[in-house]
Amino acid sequence: MSRNRDDWVSQRAYAIWEEEGRPHGRGESHWAQALREFEQLEATKASADGSELIEKLKAAGRLMRAFDEPVFEVEDERQRKAAL
């Protein structure tokens, strides 16, 4: 295991232990849970700021630009007014 992974898992296992009220004899289950969480995060391969996900969405044509959103709101508002 890499040092970075061990550090993350150790800190997360400690946090889980504290969240559960510091029970005795649960170290292995806390470590296993932290390890599962780490592996889940690694599987997503998302960057901390989400830039990798943003690039994937852009490439797939599934990311809307910020200025596109109000257009839909305006159209929805027009449709509501027309229905009245």
Higher pLDDT, 79 or 10: 10
Nearest Cα residue to 26 out of 17, 35, 36, 18:
17
In this prediction the pTM is 0.52
Higher pLDDT, 56 or 10: 10
β strands within the chain, DSSP E:
none
pLDDT at 8: 93
Is residue 84 predicted with pLDDT exceeding 70? no
Where do runs of H (alpha helix) occur along 1-26? 3-19
- The string of pLDDT tens digits covering residues 19-78 is 999 999 999 999 999 999 998 888 776 666 677 777 777 777 766 555 444 455 555 666
pLDDT at 2: 65
